[in-house]
Amino acid sequence: MENNIKIDLKATEKFVSEQEFSNYINSALKAFDTLEGRKGKGSEYLGWMNLPSKTSEELISDCEKVAKRWAGVELVVVIGIGGSYLGAKSALDALSHSFQTHLGRKTPQIVFAGQNVSEEYLAELIDLMSVKSVACIVISKSGTTTEPAVAFRIIKNFLEEKYGRRDAAIRIVAITDASKGALKVLADNEGYTTFVIPDDIGGRFSVLTPVGLVPLAVAGFDIRYLLKGAADMENICSERSPDNPAVIYAAIRNALYNNGKKVELLVTYNPKLQYVAEWWKQLFGESEGKEGKGIFPASVNFTSDLHSMGQYIQQGERIIFETVISVKKSNRSLLSNSDSQNLDGLNFISDKHLDVCNKMAELGTKIAHYDGGVPNIKIEIPSINEYNLGSLYYFFEKACGISAYMLGVNPFDQPGVEDYKINMFALLGKPGYEKREQELKGRF
């Protein structure tokens, strides 16, 4: 099996010596042992590690059955936040035609809710739901996360009013905890089709569970191919070797971090990958940002953001390194054309593929940023499809586990996320939070 993810570290060599890198590879291999040996912090949450190779045919065909059942549905609202949102959103954006809504493609249009509490957003979504045939996938492991729970209350109510309670139940799929949790109880009471988020898989590691699989299947994508890519990468990343791509990536980012590069910019050159970067930010940010430590994960989409963030990256504080997701081959072909007036002076690129221009922008930027003090890690995938995306998700998950153990933190908890929730509940007057409410009122 060929490794479809190629890592190029040439543009980091000026910043990390060969000897230093080799030391970091050794620490990465130790962290790899901790992860594989299930001996590290949070090791009760390692269900994602062998998930791709262990996903049952039954689960895959259950996902596909939902897609068949909803074949005539025009709009599917996927409700979820954080790890119960970004995986599906990133895969759908990456794989879909950029303008499929405008083209009126046949597969149901997928939209998201519950990832914010904007009144305007949800009210406008209801405008859309009012003129379409609608179904809903609600994703929440706990079932009590405020944002999706609020959205689901409203959308469930809307569906019941529109279709009646019994028909609404056929139009709702719940993806939640196996046994505990409010959503599980509701789903059982109402008779919704239910999928399980395994207990040993946290939200940000759940893209290859039904959390990602059901929305993707419903949107008409090949989830078998996605899982095949992930399973092949699972195999590659299980090797205890300095050539393991997850080991290499974990090693270099920790080496750069300890050399003062505190911010990692995930760079994409295709707008379809912007949400892959959002997913990646959550994965690394929530896994590593704790105990006063962690690389700050940020992202840019070039060339757009070269016209907004390019100046800072080139000449601002020298605390940044870049990790570029480079896509070798574009799925579409389009040539630049010649113009008889040539007023913009661009005839020199006529008859060139736009992807060649994009690649030269990528190389030119890499050299400019490198010369300006920004190390560059290149992660190349052959093209954007289900297989390569599955590989990429798994690769980043494995690298994240290794990298966080190198840093000495628990990759699988997120204690800091609770603080805002407690304040929000107190400020909204949730019973039991009265003391906190008094403490907060009058501040700011």
Residues tagged active-site? 286, 307, 421
Distance CA 228, CA 352 (A): 34
The minimum distance between CB 385 and ligand PA5, in angstroms, equals: 26
What's the gap between Cα 84 and its chain centre?
A: 10
**Closer Cβ to ligand PA5, 7 or 46, answer by number:** 46
**Closer Cβ to ligand PA5, 44 or 243, answer by number:** 44
- The structure tokens listed for 273 are 């990958």
What's the gap between Cα 31 and its chain centre?
A: 23
* 97: three-class secondary structure by DSSP: coil
Buried (b) or exposed (e) across 367-381, using 16+ Cβ within 10 A? Answer: eebbeebbbbbbbeb
DSSP β-bridge partners for residue 324: 267, 378
The minimum distance between CB 86 and ligand PA5, in angstroms, equals: 8
**Closer Cβ to ligand PA5, 284 or 302, answer by number:** 284
Which listed residue (40, 87, 202, 373) binds ligand PA5 by CB under 6 A? 202
Asked if 173 and 136 touch (Cβ cutoff 8 Å), the reply is yes
Strand 320-327 to 376-381 pairing: parallel
Q: Measured on CA atoms in the order 351, 353, 358, 362, is the torsion positive or negative?
A: negative
Region of 295 please: left (phi>0), alpha (psi -120 to 50) or beta. Answer: beta
- Give yes or no for residue 203 binding ligand PA5 (CB under 6 A): yes
Distance CA 291, CA 408 (A): 9
The minimum distance between CB 104 and ligand PA5, in angstroms, equals: 32
- Give yes or no for residue 201 binding ligand PA5 (CB under 6 A): no
**Closer Cβ to ligand PA5, 232 or 288, answer by number:** 288
Considering only residues 385 through 414, tell me which ones interact with ligand PA5, judged by CB under 6 A: 414
Distance CA 380, CA 383 (A): 9
- Give yes or no for residue 209 binding ligand PA5 (CB under 6 A): no
Which listed residue (232, 234, 286, 386) binds ligand PA5 by CB under 6 A? 286
- The structure tokens listed for 186 are 């509701």
**Closer Cβ to ligand PA5, 141 or 369, answer by number:** 141
- Give yes or no for residue 204 binding ligand PA5 (CB under 6 A): yes
The minimum distance between CB 198 and ligand PA5, in angstroms, equals: 12
- The structure tokens listed for 125 are 């979504």
Pick the stretch among 12-20, 120-128, 138-146, 214-222 that binds ligand PA5 (CB under 6 A): 138-146
* 263: three-class secondary structure by DSSP: strand
Which listed residue (40, 52, 83, 401) binds ligand PA5 by CB under 6 A? 83
- Give yes or no for residue 84 binding ligand PA5 (CB under 6 A): yes
**Closer Cβ to ligand PA5, 84 or 410, answer by number:** 84
Strand 6-8 to 376-381 pairing: antiparallel
- Give yes or no for residue 115 binding ligand PA5 (CB under 6 A): no
- Give yes or no for residue 140 binding ligand PA5 (CB under 6 A): yes
- Give yes or no for residue 285 binding ligand PA5 (CB under 6 A): no
Please return the burial class of 33, using the count of CB atoms within 10 Å of its CB with bins 0-12, 13-18 and 19+: middle
- Give yes or no for residue 87 binding ligand PA5 (CB under 6 A): no
Which listed residue (3, 23, 53, 142) binds ligand PA5 by CB under 6 A? 142
In DSSP notation, 139-161 reads E-SSS--HHHHHHHHHHHHHHHH
- The residue written with tokens 């509940």 in the block is 425
The minimum distance between CB 14 and ligand PA5, in angstroms, equals: 36
Backbone angles phi, psi at 123, to 5 degrees: -65, -40
- Give yes or no for residue 145 binding ligand PA5 (CB under 6 A): yes
Pick the stretch among 89-97, 196-204, 224-232, 242-250 that binds ligand PA5 (CB under 6 A): 196-204
**Closer Cβ to ligand PA5, 5 or 81, answer by number:** 81
* Contacts with ligand PA5, residue ranges (CB under 6 A): 81-84, 140-142, 145, 148, 202-204, 286, 414
